[in-house]
Amino acid sequence: QVQLVESGGGLVQAGDSVRLSCAASGRTSSSGAMGWFRQAPGKEREFVATITWSGATTKYADSVKGRFTISRDTAKNTMSLQMNSLKPEDTAVYYCASRASRLLSVKVVEYEYWGQGTQVTVSS
């Protein structure tokens, strides 16, 4: 079993920056990819960014490309999401996720483990 705990959310203004962190514990995979997803009220959970275990390869949703940066510290078993130039439409609960496969994935169903989520609210 893998436990994921997100932190770093909050209420910010449009244009501000926020850094989310995800701490992994338990039977973490030594090579699995990880990702960030988000879910706004009344909407389905959607892909934000994903990263390989080494951190060498990343992929972003078009809506956040150039504004968000995903990173990973394998020594500390943590993953982060630096979010800059935030917009009101970025308001959502952000979830950290991990999968056993080393392949990147943008699909919710392909991640086995999920954190409880952290709220990010961007006011205009």
Half-sphere exposure of 110 (CA within 13 A, CB side): 15
DSSP readout, 30-64? SS--EEEEEE-TTS--EEEEEE-TTSS-EEE-TTT
Per-residue pLDDT at 30: 59
Beta partners for residue 93, in sequence order:
39, 119
pLDDT in tens, the chain (124 residues): 889 999 999 999 999 999 999 999 887 655 799 999 999 999 999 999 999 988 899 999 999 999 999 999 988 999 999 999 999 999 999 999 999 999 999 999 999 999 999 999 999 9
d(CA 35, CA 50): 4
Cα separation of 115 and 106, whole Å? Answer: 16
What is residue 28's predicted lDDT score, i.e. its pLDDT?
Answer: 64
pLDDT of residue 53: 87
User: What is the Cα–Cα distance from 103 to 120, expressed in whole angstroms?
Assistant: 28
pLDDT number for residue 29: 57
**Residue 74: its pLDDT value, please?**
87
